[in-house]
Amino acid sequence: MGNNNLISSKKTYYISIAILAGMFFIFGFVSWVNAILIPYFRISCELTHFESYFVAFAFYIAYFVMAIPSGVLLKKVGFKRGIMYGFMLTALGAFLFVPAALARQFEIFLAGLFSIGTGLAILQTAANPYVTIIGPIDSAAKRISIMGICNKFAGIVSPLIFAALILNVTDKELFATIESGTLDIVTKNAMLDELIQRVIVPYAVLGVILLLTGIGIRYSILPEINTDEENSTEDTGSHHHTRKSIFDFPYLILGAVAIFLHVGTQVIAIDTIINYANSMGMDLLEAKTFPSYTLACTMIGYLLGILLIPKYVSQKNALIGCTIIGLLLSFGVVFADFNVTLFGHQANASIFFLTEDDRLWVMDARGLSNHGNGFLGFAVGTMETQAFLRRQGRQPFIPNRADEILKVLNIKENRSHYAVRCQVRHPDTHVTRFTYLLIKGNPDEDMLLRELERRKTWENALEPAGNWNLLYILLGGLALAACVTMCVLSHPAVAVMSGELYFPCMGASLAAFCVFLYFIIRQRRGE
């Protein structure tokens, strides 16, 4: 009898963990698609950068406004029924995207996003206590890390899936035409209407899924919890009942500050990265993958949390260490002065060279001098650059460090410069993509822009690259199958392999699935 109860309890535990993991996946899927929505609405609703960030504001202000009411609601109706109501509100927000798209009204979109945020506020208010209460408190950090992996994995795939559903390969020309200012108002509105209405089907389907999920969880075996009893038990054992004010719990205040900073930095990094890439000359079609890269890095942190906490490092020491590393990296972003190349992209201030045989070359202007970042270094570097340009005027030559432009991929105009993204051949014959900055005010600016525009239509002289996506899909599928097999065999319920391999294999499975899905989408889109 006792054994049967134990098995039943363990079964309920694992099913509950799976339900919570699915909920956190949905949280991430709905939340992190904002990284695509912000630049997408900016184009389709003709918004400024400032206005486009009301997407994030309307979404996250709901958490601030509805956090306390969510707690009151859950206490009154119960956690399982509250979860159902949360999913219903989230579904309502998704359904509001349909009339918003038909009318192309950004305000209705914001109302829908606020409703989604309100629903998620209720859901997360319910889900977070479940994660800590449903199992031993010592392993709470591990369960939180598992939920974080599910959340961030959803954030990795959601921008890719959303982009695959609403963006086409030919949209680069469509965006350029819309932003060119050459269209009449009727034609432009028709194109914008067609663009924004692409969100109708994805969000209608998402609303139905959310609604059904909420009803399913309401009648699932997920146990009902009573946080008042849990808190009463903890207070009795730790003398918390003698504390009357929130300020009597300093760790709670510090935790709130930590969460505030954590969410703030995360949202800024993910929701602004596409617009940042746009400012460097990359269009939405290419920058759509950048939020996924960012979230993949956060998922690595969660995997490390699962592996290291509390077996090798305590929760307290992990928090202190991560805080210090975060501060160092933040200062590095602000004060470091070096070039970073990522996925073939880099930005610099550039000097262009046009030869008599109609070949166009370019080099980094900062490579002409290396005298530090101070005032003196700047002055010396400026004089050396001017001397170089005077020598060029007397006797033109191509510097050894110059790169040859094979094809211009995109030109984006900014307030002070043009961001020119090119396919170039380096002096070592290595071919890559690079983003160069053409500063406005150059006497030869118009001629150079004509030359760059002319090279946008060129077929570059390189041999066409082979399509490696099929190979990557095959390798990703094999890796996924292997990791899933090991995950199943190491599960405590199967116990064929050591249970210590379960969580590492689960993390590897998620990573393999991400890679697998990424290359399938690329293959599907013909990239």
Residue range 161-190: mean pLDDT, rounded: 80
Residue 525: per-residue pLDDT: 52
481-506 pLDDT, tens per residue?
888 888 788 877 777 788 777 777 77
In one-letter notation, the amino acid at residue 363 is M
**Spatial contact of 96 and 112, defined as CB atoms under 8 Å apart:** yes
321 has a pLDDT exceeding 80? yes
User: What's the confidence (pLDDT) of residue 358?
Assistant: 74
The domain locations on the chain are 2-227+267-336, 350-454, 468-527
**Alpha-carbon dihedral sign for residues 271, 274, 278, 283:** negative
- Mean of pLDDT values over 271-279: 76
Please say if the pLDDT value at position 186 is more than 80: yes
> Which of 95-99, 402-406, 516-520 shows the lowest mean pLDDT across its residues?
516-520
Evaluate whether 52 touches 35 at the Cβ level (below 8 Å).
no
Q: Does the pLDDT at position 226 exceed 70? A: no
What pLDDT shows up at residue 5? 37
- What is the DSSP secondary structure assignment for residue 500, as one 8-state letter? G
Which amino acid is located at 352 in the chain?
Answer: F
Whether residue 95 is predicted with pLDDT greater than 90 in this model: the reply is yes
Assign 473 a pLDDT band (cuts: 50, 70, 90): confident
Q: What is the pLDDT of residues 133-162, one digit of tens each?
A: 877 777 777 788 788 888 888 888 888 888
Instruction: Give the list of residues 6+ apart from residue 449 with CB closer than 8 angstroms, or none.
Output: 411, 418, 438
- Tell which wins on pLDDT, 280 or 222: 222
Q: Which residue has the higher pLDDT, 238 or 54?
A: 54
Q: What is the mean pLDDT of residues 179-208?
A: 85
Question: How do residues 2-35 score in pLDDT, each as one tens digit?
Answer: 433 333 477 777 888 888 888 999 988 888 888 8
Q: What is the mean pLDDT of residues 227-237?
A: 51
Rounded Cα–Cα distance for residues 111 and 120 (Å): 14
Q: What is the pLDDT of residues 324-354, one digit of tens each?
A: 887 887 776 666 544 444 444 444 556 777 7
Q: Which helix (H) or strand (E) holds 412?
A: strand 403-413
2-227+267-336: in CATH 1.20.140.10: no
Q: Cis ω on the peptide bond leading into residue 159 (within 30° of 0)?
A: no
Is the pTM higher than 0.85?
Answer: no
Please determine, for residue 181, whether its predicted confidence score (pLDDT) is greater than 50: yes
